[in-house]
């Protein structure tokens, strides 16, 4: 319970067993449950009912969220193609999901909350060393729209959704230009006929994203926004990975030599990237037990940081925990780092306020 494991059947079963045991003991001894036991039960039940939280993120104080430098308003769109009775997801459309509609609704809500928690926690610079490190990013859901139908198809790209139709139907212009939305999260599916873009940017400054960067496949407005297309067949780690690749896209485009120094290269990784931790030998090598010397926890551009032995045990060999650990190594708030005698900026600005970064030409080093 101390890790807030969420509404899992296992957690609830253990809690019920404990409560029944205390109640039986009470009846046997003809006494009430003592105050300490009552307090414990209340605490355990509240933890079970709370959103799931990874052990690697549990130290974050709630009050620190108010210190986030950038707020990211989000519009959520959900596409649930259903069978005729509207109770089950139509596997003829999705190719791989045939669960009850209510189950998928709950799954999407859970993962959405966990995406937010992960991204906010990940923006806390080196929080594995400083538990009080504030987040740079705060995500806020502005609105959620649901459609009990398949995603419309792009007439020019047969295996893609018609994102223009999806977004115009949702009135994206109002949300982006009037309500400040910076990201649109689409819940959908990856079928044999339709593959989603993990991330896609619409911007007057061009499309920098993990897509084919077609400048005409999204409504381009006066402000930048990024679209993430999730697959509800998968789970939180895969959804968060969409964001990891978008981070890589904008950092590689704008970060130049500094980002190359941050990532390293095959066989000589420094902080690595989404698919490659410092000891990575191949894509998705998150469970590699091989030890390497790495300066990820004391990364400095010139390479002056302390190197320590590291393997996947640092992030429990888990993709989602690797993403958090890696994000926390990206120079963030109060990073205190320098390159050639100049201070590094907070690199999360590229996610938090891309529009300002491009317009004002703020770089990775203070001017």
**pLDDT per residue as tens digits for the range 28-53:** 444 444 555 555 555 454 444 433 33
Q: What is the pLDDT of residues 232-265, one digit of tens each?
A: 999 999 999 999 999 999 999 999 999 999 999 9
Residue 337 has a pLDDT of 98
The count of domains in the chain is 3
Residue 186: inside a domain, yes or no?
Answer: yes
Domain boundary residue among 217, 242, 267? Answer: 242
Tell me what the mean pLDDT of segment 149-173 comes to.
Answer: 97
Q: Are residues 204 and 339 in the same domain?
A: no
Q: Are residues 324 and 237 in the same domain?
A: no
pLDDT-based confidence at residue 367 (cuts at 50, 70, 90): confident
Q: Are residues 100 and 234 in the same domain?
A: yes
Residues 6+ apart with CB under 8 A from 129: 297
Length of the chain: 367
Chain mean pLDDT for the chain: 88
For 105, the 3-state DSSP assignment is helix
Residue 79: inside a domain, yes or no?
Answer: yes
Q: What is the pLDDT of residues 300-345, one digit of tens each?
A: 999 999 999 999 999 999 999 999 999 999 999 999 999 999 999 9
Residue 10 has a pLDDT of 47
Q: What is the DSSP string of 290-320?
A: --EEE-GGG--TTS-SPPEEE-GGGGTT-HH
Q: Which residues pair with 247 in a beta bridge?
A: none
Tell me what the mean pLDDT of segment 193-205 comes to.
Answer: 97
Q: Are residues 18 and 96 in the same domain?
A: no
pLDDT-based confidence at residue 18 (cuts at 50, 70, 90): low
Q: Are residues 121 and 269 in the same domain?
A: no
Domain that holds residue 22: 9-49
CA gap 36, 251 in Å, rounded: 51
Q: Are residues 197 and 128 in the same domain?
A: yes
Can you give the CATH number for the domain in which 140 is found? 3.40.390
CA gap 367, 357 in Å, rounded: 13
Q: Are residues 15 and 86 in the same domain?
A: no
pLDDT-based confidence at residue 68 (cuts at 50, 70, 90): confident
Q: Are residues 231 and 314 in the same domain?
A: no
Residue 36: CA atoms inside 13 Å, Cβ hemisphere, count? 0
CA gap 213, 161 in Å, rounded: 15
Q: Are residues 137 and 207 in the same domain?
A: yes
Domain boundary residue among 221, 242, 263? Answer: 242
The proportion of the chain whose per-residue pLDDT surpasses 70, expressed as a percent, equals: 82
Tell me what the mean pLDDT of segment 168-189 comes to.
Answer: 99
**Residue 25 pLDDT greater than 60, yes or no:** no
**E runs forming strands in 168-291:** 183-188, 199-202, 225-231, 264-265, 268-269
End-to-end CA distance of the chain: 48
State phi, psi for 352 to the nearest 5 degrees. Answer: -75, -35
In sign, the C-alpha dihedral spanning 313, 319, 320, 322 is positive
Residue 248: inside a domain, yes or no?
Answer: no
**Residue 149 pLDDT greater than 70, yes or no:** yes
CB 227 within 8 Å of CB 199: yes
pLDDT-based confidence at residue 286 (cuts at 50, 70, 90): very high
Indicate the range of 51-65, 69-83, 204-218, 257-271 predicted with least confidence. Answer: 51-65
Q: Are residues 210 and 257 in the same domain?
A: no
- As given in the structure block, the two tokens for residue 62 are 């709630």
CA gap 70, 27 in Å, rounded: 55
Tell me what the mean pLDDT of segment 185-192 comes to.
Answer: 98
Residue 128 has a pLDDT of 96
Q: Are residues 233 and 100 in the same domain?
A: yes
Tell me what the mean pLDDT of segment 104-121 comes to.
Answer: 99
Residue 3 has a pLDDT of 32
Comparing CA positions, the residue from 119, 19, 87 lying closest to residue 328 is 119
Residue 13: inside a domain, yes or no?
Answer: yes
Q: Are residues 195 and 123 in the same domain?
A: yes
pTM given for the model? 0.83
pLDDT-based confidence at residue 294 (cuts at 50, 70, 90): very high
């Amino acid at each position: 319970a101390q890790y807030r494991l969420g509404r899992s059947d296992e957690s609830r079963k253990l809690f019920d067993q404990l409560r029944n045991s205390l109640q039986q003991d009470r009846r046997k001894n003809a006494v009430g449950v003592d105050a300490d036991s009552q307090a414990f039960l209340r605490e355990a039940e509240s933890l079970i009912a709370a959103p799931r939280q990874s052990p690697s993120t549990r130290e974050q104080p709630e009050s620190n969220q108010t210190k986030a430098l950038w707020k990211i308003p989000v519009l959520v769109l959900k596409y649930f193609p259903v069978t005729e009775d509207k109770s089950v997801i139509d596997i003829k459309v999705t190719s791989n999901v045939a669960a009850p509609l209510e189950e998928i609704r709950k799954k999407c809500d859970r993962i959405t909350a966990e995406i937010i928690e992960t991204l906010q926690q990940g923006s806390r610079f080196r929080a594995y060393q400083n538990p009080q490190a504030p987040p740079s990013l705060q995500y806020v859901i502005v609105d959620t729209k649901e459609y009990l139908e398949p995603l419309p198809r792009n007439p020019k790209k047969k295996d893609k959704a018609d994102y223009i139709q999806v977004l115009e139907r949702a009135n994206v212009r109002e949300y982006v230009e009037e309500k400040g939305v910076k990201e649109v999260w689409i819940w959908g599916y990856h079928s044999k006929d339709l593959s989603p873009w993990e991330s896609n940017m619409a911007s007057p400054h061009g499309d920098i994203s993990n897509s084919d960067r077609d400048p005409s496949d999204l409504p381009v407005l006066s402000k930048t926004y990024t679209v993430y297309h999730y697959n509800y067949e998968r789970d939180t780690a895969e959804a968060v990975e969409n964001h990891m690749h978008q981070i890589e896209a904008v950092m590689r485009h704008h970060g130049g030599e500094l980002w190359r120094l941050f990532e390293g290269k095959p066989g000589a990784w420094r902080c690595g990237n989404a698919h490659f931790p410092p000891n990575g030998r191949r894509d998705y090598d998150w469970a590699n037990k091989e030890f390497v010397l790495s300066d990820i926890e004391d990364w400095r551009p010139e390479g002056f940081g302390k190197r320590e032995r590291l393997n996947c045990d640092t992030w429990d060999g888990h993709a989602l925990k690797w993403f958090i650990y890696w994000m926390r190594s990206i120079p963030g708030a109060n990073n205190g780092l320098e390159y050639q005698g100049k201070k590094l900026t907070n690199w999360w600005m590229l996610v938090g306020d891309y529009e300002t970064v491009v317009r004002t030409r703020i770089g990775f080093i203070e001017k």
